[in-house]
């Protein structure tokens, strides 16, 4: 979990080609020439560049290194495929190409024959300190190195080699496409997969706790262990803590838990049986939480500073006001209200003023504001017996349907680059967490065990 | 009017007085010889005879009116066979209909009888709405039930509310038969 990846040294021969490969700890020398000389790999006109990512080369022969080399190659292929910026040549077509013994002896002609524009090769080796992973992106047409990196970590990091692939993928997307990748981001959700039950008044009840995973569903891990209901997690923008709704004191309250630190959790909304608090949403700067509470008699939206100070009520209406989400600049809040008779999506200024409705459908809920540069709100909308995920675009005031009407699809959460959504769906039976691209393509199932709800995507 | 009431009061006092007079008449006391002081008559010479074995008391048949199994039952058992009636709601509604009022009237009687009980009203919804909005809907349902009980004279401090949205369905099915049972306010004794 606490693996540290350090970009230790650039491969010297390529340092002038790949600016981002310089050690970030050392200030760059004053530029004498244009500072950002990068090789951008392009494909045929009108087509995305074709990339090939073979297994990494294990430079030491111990089984852990050999296994890690295979995993890094496969995961990097998946990561690069995820953003759809490149066409990833299927890996089973690489068989005819002899495996390189090192990054300097690559049979470029054969990769060219396969149609590759970009080739990502790399090595994994044990070192005295732990493990080192070398990654090189080669422009197949010219043989130039577009990116060269070496990452190192402790021996323990061999147990989760995926993080090397995720890091390399994010750097390749950044360098080649100026795109913020999401390969190192995380998901959080609630799940009853462990089958634990609490005594209910009539029958025993299945409890849910909070779980996290990598963006691709790997490394699923339980992070709360309570015999109660823990639901609706929200990653803090710094990805150090998760705010969620917990019933551990028999009434719902918001808990902020520093999941990587031995540090007591906090309850910024200071709940009690008369002041119950739900559905926390972090402000983009991480300083405040918006949430729902019934403390003044019916569900309303409130905001409080992370340290529990500055509590303020934002809505004041006898109907239900639920599920706040912040605009990327923190100046507006969207929420769900049934003040016109049915649940619809509303927006207001962050001080509660100028509330206005933006949807007019049969039932809309759980708005989630996109990150910039998109200016959109995703939400769940009743489209039949179940719900579908829709996206409302403020620019042209139009709405498009993202999911396909199979099962009920709810609780959308944007990825930090706005290109993907996590949501729940009953399409395979019980509710599970899925990912989908904003255009409705690339549906991917993340959870399979138990019932999984309330997905949230970290920065 | 005034006079008539006065008259009634006087009559009542007179009756009460007559009753008191009748009770005052003491029974005729007949002097009897005092019983011998057992302890002092034969000091130390003979051990006191063992006490007569106590006869087992005849079991007294339980009077149906006086017995109250609920008072002596633990909270869990009460809740497992809850004497409270749940209140059911229409789709996306928190209003209490006639059947719901009838259920709550009965629940209010119970709460008056067991005046120390603290009751938590759980608001639940069926699976069809969205999870987040259903938390608000469950809250509204619980509060509507609480407000009705308060209007019947149950002190608000004896009533707590909590919403579980669609987290804890009562019936697992995916049809109106199950949904109608899951849109409910459920009453749970939390202290007695």
- Measuring CA to CA, how many Å separate A120 from each of A48, A56, A69, A106, B185? 16, 9, 13, 11, 59
Q: Torsion angle of alpha carbons A193, A195, A197, A203, nearest 10°? A: 100
Q: Determine contact, residues A280/A333, Cβ cutoff 8 Å.
A: no
What does the pLDDT read at residue A34? 45
pLDDT at A210: 98
Taking contacts as CB-CB distances below 8 angstroms, the residues of chain B near A342 are: 92
Residues A269, A409: Cα–Cα separation, whole Å: 30
**pLDDT over 90 percentage in chain A:** 86
What is the 8-class DSSP label of residue A416? T
Give the Cα-Cα-Cα angle A291, A297, A299 (nearest 5 degrees). Answer: 35
pLDDT value of residue B40: 45
pLDDT digits (tens, 9 = 90+) for A247-267: 999 899 999 999 999 899 999
Instruction: Collect all residues of chain A within an 8 Å Cβ-Cβ radius of residue B170.
Output: 202-203
Distance from CA of A297 to the nearest CA of B (A): 8
pLDDT for position B52: 72
Measured CA to CA, the distance from residue A51 to residue A86 in angstroms comes to 6
B150 contacts chain A (CB < 8 A): no
Q: What ipTM score was computed for the predicted complex, to two decimals?
A: 0.86
Contact in structure between A207 and A193 (CB atoms under 8 Å): no
CA dist., res. A366 & res. B130, Å (int):
8
Give yes or no for B133 touching A (CB within 8 A).
yes
Per-residue confidence band for B66, with pLDDT thresholds at 50, 70 and 90? low
Q: B79, A201: Cβ pair inside 8 Å?
A: yes
B131:A410 CB<8 A: yes
pLDDT tier for residue A18 given thresholds of 50, 70 and 90: very low
Is residue A24 scored above 70 in pLDDT? no
Asked if B107 has any chain A CB less than 8 Å from its own CB, the reply is no
Contacts of B38 (CB under 8 A, 6+ apart): none
Instruction: Report residue A1's pLDDT band, with 50, 70 and 90 as the boundaries.
Output: very low
Residues of A in contact with B132 (CB under 8 A): 232, 279, 322-323, 336, 365-366, 411
Q: What digits encode the pLDDT tens for the residues A348-402? A: 999 999 999 999 999 999 999 999 999 999 999 999 999 999 999 999 999 999 9
Written as one string, the DSSP assignment of A1-47 is -----EE----GGGTTT-GGGS-TTSPPPPPSS-S---PPP--STTS
If one counts every other C-beta atom within 10 angstroms of the C-beta of residue B161, the result is 25
Burial A181-190 (b: 16+ CB within 10 A, else e): bbbbbbbbbb
Mutation target among A299, A342, A381 for the B interface, most CBs of B within 10 A: A299
Closest-CA residue to A208 (of A430, A425, A457, A436): A430
What is the rounded distance in angstroms from the CA atom of residue B24 to the CA atom of residue B79?
Answer: 53
**In the predicted model, is pLDDT for residue B17 greater than 80?**
no
pLDDT for the residue A406: 96
* Residue pLDDT, tens place only, B31-54: 555 555 444 444 455 666 766 767
Burial of A403 (0-12, 13-18, 19+ CB in 10 A): buried
By the CB < 8 Å criterion, does B73 face chain A? Answer: no
Question: Which of B136, B139, B147, B181 to probe the A interface (max A CBs under 10 A)?
Answer: B136
| Residue in A199, A322, A385 closest to B135 by CB | A322
What's the whole-number mean pLDDT along residues B129-156? 96
pLDDT at residue number A37: 62
Q: Which member of A202, A323, A365 has the closest CB to residue B79? A: A202
Tokens of A420: 């993907």
* Model pLDDT, residue B29: 55
Per-residue pLDDT at A375:
93
Overall average pLDDT of the A226-234 stretch:
95
* Interchain CB contacts (distance < 8 Å): A and B: 100
B160 interaction partners in chain A (CB closer than 8 Å): 251, 273
Reported as type and span, the H/E element at residue B164 is strand B159-165
Residues of A in contact with B186 (CB under 8 A): 201-202
For A301, which residue in chain B has the nearest alpha carbon? B136
B139 touches chain A (CB under 8 A): yes
pLDDT (0 to 100) of residue A204: 86
Check whether A297 has a pLDDT greater than 60.
yes
Contact B139 A297 (CB under 8 A): no
**Is it true that the peptide bond before A135 is cis, omega within 30 degrees of 0?**
no
On the question of pLDDT at A73 being above 90, the answer is: yes
Q: For A172-186, how does the pLDDT look when each residue is reduced to its tens digit (9 = 90+)? A: 999 999 999 999 999
Interface touch B188/A380, C-beta < 8 Å:
no
Is the confidence at residue A321, as pLDDT, over 90? yes
- Pick B133's closest partner by Cβ from A343, A424, A453: A343
pLDDT value of position B62: 58
Cβ of B131 and A229 within 8 Å? Answer: no
How far B114 CA lies from chain A's nearest CA (Å)?
A: 18
pLDDT in tens, A27-51: 444 444 544 567 899 998 999 999 9
What is the token pair recorded at B46?
């003979």
Domains in chain A (CATH in brackets) are: 3-177 (3.40.50.10070), 186-457 (2.120.10.30)
Residue of B nearest to A338 (CA): B133
Which residues of A lie closer than 8 Å to B, measured between beta carbons? 199-203, 205-206, 208, 229, 231-232, 247, 250-252, 273, 276, 278-279, 292, 294, 297-299, 320-323, 336, 338, 342-343, 363, 365-366, 380, 385, 387, 410-411, 424, 453-454
Confidence bin at A201 (pLDDT 50/70/90): confident
Chain A positions touching B133 (Cβ under 8 A) are 320, 322-323, 336, 338, 343, 363, 365-366
**Which of B133, B156, B165, B176 best probes binding to A when mutated, by most A CB atoms within 10 angstroms?**
B133
pLDDT band at B71 (very low <50, low <70, confident <90, very high): confident
B132 and chain A in contact, CB less than 8 A: yes
Cα(A236)–Cα(A261) distance, integer angstroms = 14
Q: By mean pLDDT, which of A329-333, A341-345, B78-82 is the weakest? A: B78-82
Q: What would the pLDDT profile of B73-102 be if each residue is shown by its tens digit?
A: 888 889 988 999 999 999 989 999 999 999
Per the prediction, chain A carries an average pLDDT of 91
Cα–Cα distance measured from residue A79 to residue A249, given in angstroms and rounded to the nearest whole number: 41
Q: Which pLDDT score, from 0 to 100, does residue A202 have?
A: 77
Report the C-alpha gap between A124 and B151 in whole angstroms.
73
How many other CB atoms sit within 10 Å of the CB of residue B36? Answer: 8
CB pair distance less than 8 Å for B143 and A200: no
> Residue B86's closest CA among B170, B178, B192, B191?
B170
Q: Which residue of B has its CA nearest to A294?
A: B139
Lowest mean pLDDT across A23-27, A136-140, A382-386, B156-160:
A23-27
Strand order across the A288-293 sheet = A277-282, A288-293, A300-305, A312-313
Strand partners, A154: A130
Residue A266 DSSP one-character state: B
The closest CB to that of A273, out of B140, B160, B188, belongs to B160
Residue A298 and residue B96: Cα distance in Å, rounded? 16
Set of chain A residues whose Cβ sits within 8 Å of the Cβ of B143: 294, 297-298
Q: Which two tokens stand for residue B181?
A: 């049972």
């Amino acid at each position: 979990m606490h693996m540290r990846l350090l970009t230790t040294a650039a491969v010297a021969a390529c340092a002038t080609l790949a600016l981002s490969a310089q050690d970030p700890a050392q200030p760059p020398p004053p530029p004498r020439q244009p500072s950002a000389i990068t090789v951008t790999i392009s494909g045929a006109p009108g087509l995305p560049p074709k990339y090939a990512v073979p297994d990494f080369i294990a430079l030491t022969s111990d089984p852990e290194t050999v296994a890690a080399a295979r995993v890094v190659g496969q995961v990097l292929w998946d990561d690069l495929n995820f953003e759809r910026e490149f066409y990833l040549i299927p890996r089973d077509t690489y068989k005819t190409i002899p495996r390189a013994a090192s990054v300097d002896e690559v049979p470029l002609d054969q990769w060219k024959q396969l149609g590759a524009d970009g080739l990502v090769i790399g090595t994994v080796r044990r070192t005295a300190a732990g493990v080192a992973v070398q990654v090189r992106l080669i422009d197949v047409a010219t043989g130039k190195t577009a990116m060269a990196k070496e990452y190192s970590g402790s021996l323990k990091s061999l147990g989760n080699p995926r993080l090397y692939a995720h890091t390399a993928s994010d750097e390749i997307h950044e360098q080649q496409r100026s795109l913020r990748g999401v390969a190192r981001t995380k998901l959080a959700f609630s799940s009853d997969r462990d089958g634990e039950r609490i005594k209910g008044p009539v029958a025993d009840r299945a409890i849910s706790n909070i779980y996290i995973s990598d963006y691709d569903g790997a490394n699923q891990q339980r992070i709360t262990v309570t015999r109660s209901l823990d639901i609706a997690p929200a990653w803090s923008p710094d990805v150090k803590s998760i705010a969620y709704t917990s019933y551990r004191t028999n009434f719902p309250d918001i808990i902020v838990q520093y999941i990587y630190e031995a540090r007591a959790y906090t309850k910024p909304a200071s709940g009690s049986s008369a002041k119950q608090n739900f559905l926390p949403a972090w402000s983009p700067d991480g300083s405040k939480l918006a949430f729902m509470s019934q403390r003044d008699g019916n569900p309303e939206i409130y905001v409080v500073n992370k340290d529990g100070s500055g509590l303020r009520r934002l809505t004041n209406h006898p109907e239900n006001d639920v599920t706040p989400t912040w605009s990327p600049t923190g100046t507006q809040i969207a929420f769900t209200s049934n003040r016109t008779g049915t649940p619809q999506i509303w927006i207001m200024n962050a001080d509660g003023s100028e509330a206005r409705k933006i949807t007019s459908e049969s039932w809309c809920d759980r708005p989630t504001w996109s990150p910039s540069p998109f200016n959109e709100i995703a939400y769940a909308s009743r489209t039949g017996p179940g719900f579908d995920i829709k996206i409302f675009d403020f620019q042209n005031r139009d709405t498009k349907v993202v999911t396909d009407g199979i099962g009920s699809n709810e609780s959308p959460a944007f990825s930090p680059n706005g290109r993907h959504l996590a949501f729940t769906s009953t399409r395979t039976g019980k509710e599970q967490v899925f990912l989908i691209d904003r255009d409705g393509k690339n549906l991917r199932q993340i959870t399979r065990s138990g019932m999984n709800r309330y997905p949230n995507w970290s920065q | 009017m005034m006079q008539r009431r006065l008259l009634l009061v006087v009559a009542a006092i007179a009756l009460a007085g007559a009753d008191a007079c009748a009770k005052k008449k003491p029974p005729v006391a007949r002097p009897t010889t005092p019983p011998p002081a057992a302890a002092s008559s034969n000091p130390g010479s003979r051990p006191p005879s063992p006490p007569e074995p106590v006869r087992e008391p005849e079991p007294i048949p339980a009077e149906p009116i006086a017995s109250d199994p609920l008072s002596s039952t633990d909270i869990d058992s009460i809740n497992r066979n809850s004497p409270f009636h749940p209140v059911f709601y229409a789709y996306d509604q928190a209003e209490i209909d006639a059947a719901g009022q009838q259920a709550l009237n009965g629940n209010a009687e119970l709460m008056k009888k067991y005046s120390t009980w603290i009751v938590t009203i759980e608001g639940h919804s069926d699976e069809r709405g969205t999870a987040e909005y259903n938390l608000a809907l469950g809250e509204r349902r619980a509060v509507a039930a609480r407000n009705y009980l308060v209007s019947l004279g149950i002190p608000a401090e004896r009533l707590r509310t909590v919403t579980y949205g669609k987290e804890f369905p009562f019936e697992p099915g995916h049809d109106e038969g199950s949904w109608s049972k899951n849109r409910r306010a459920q009453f749970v004794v939390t202290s007695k």
